[in-house]
Amino acid sequence: MNNRHDLPLKDDAAARFVPAIIALMVYLGTLCFVFTLFLLHSTHSWESQLTTDLTIEIPVFQGIASAPLESRVLQVVTQTPGVQRALTVSQEEMIHMFRSLIGEDVNIDSFSLPIMIDVSFDRKEIVDIKGLETHLKSISPHIQVIDHRAWQSQVSNLIHTSVFLALMITFLILLAALATTWFATRTGLLIHRQIIEVLSLIGATNAYIAKQFQINTLKHGFIASSIGSFFAFVTFFGLSALFENENFSVLLHSSFFFSALSVFILAPFVTAFLMMVSARFAVMKALNL
């Protein structure tokens, strides 16, 4: 392979700022992509922790025994098709939950805490919630049925929209980097058109001329992308440390951390390769006209 440079591409004034632009784009692009991974990872983690689809609240009235009502409700719920599990939230958990909401210094004994039953569904089956609610209301009209799936679905949709937007932004940044390479290459072709003409007249094929641009783009693209990716990693690490202090330990969760790390490592290789392909297409398209 002949790696000599027959075109003085490294002295191009027009391409002087391209590495800095590419470094900035790789910085933004990798951070955006890692943010996408973070969202996906967080969503997955959050969804796996969501075990309750429905909560049944049975108010407790003084002087009325609640245990028979609770067991009756549990019986009705567990016999409903599609219900996988129904568990009464323990008194300790209820107190803990209320304390976290109203504060430690409030005397919780003065409240009559309701009985809460967490219900999980078999995701493969459709549960007739309306029917269940009607049935429970017929047992006691004070029973409340709280369906969590609606807000869970809204949050999930919001996150997925954010993931889609983040991916789109990453894609647009990549597209902008490739367009920059394309236009810089076309400018290079114009600047060196006389040399290219001579090369062509002495028998240089279009592929030979394109190779000159490719090698130059690959080299500069890799260096610029590596710099951009390195600074993105530094930023990510700084944010991880910051979020770690704020108990956002998900950032340093091993599987996510290694996914992010692989993005920072692979970004310069992928970007440089795509830039090289962009440069080749720019040259071949221009010379084949």
Name the residues that contact other proteins, by CB under 8 A.
2, 4, 6, 8, 11, 195, 198-206, 208, 287-289
Question: Residue 12 or 57: which CB sits closer to other proteins?
Answer: 12
Question: Residue 150 or 202: which CB sits closer to other proteins?
Answer: 202
- Provide, rounded to whole angstroms, the least separation between the CB of residue 28 and other proteins: 35
Question: Residue 100 or 288: which CB sits closer to other proteins?
Answer: 288
- Provide, rounded to whole angstroms, the least separation between the CB of residue 277 and other proteins: 18
- Provide, rounded to whole angstroms, the least separation between the CB of residue 46 and other proteins: 55
- Provide, rounded to whole angstroms, the least separation between the CB of residue 193 and other proteins: 13
- Provide, rounded to whole angstroms, the least separation between the CB of residue 269 and other proteins: 28
User: SS3 for the chain, per residue?
Assistant: CCCCCCCCHHHCCCCCCHHHHHHHHHHHHHHHHHHHHHHHHHHHHHHHHCCCCEEEEECCCCCCCCHHHHHHHHHHHHHCCCEEEEEECCHHHHHHHHHHHHCCCCCHHHCCCCEEEEEEECCCCCCCHHHHHHHHHHHCCCCEEEECHHHHHHHHHHHHHHHHHHHHHHHHHHHHHHHHHHHHHHHHHHHCHHHHHHHHHCCCCHHHHHHHHHHHHHHHHHHHHHHHHHHHHHHHHHHHHHHHHCCCHHHHCHHHHHHHHHHHHHHHHHHHHHHHHHHHHHHHHHHHC
Question: Residue 194 or 247: which CB sits closer to other proteins?
Answer: 194
Question: Residue 254 or 288: which CB sits closer to other proteins?
Answer: 288
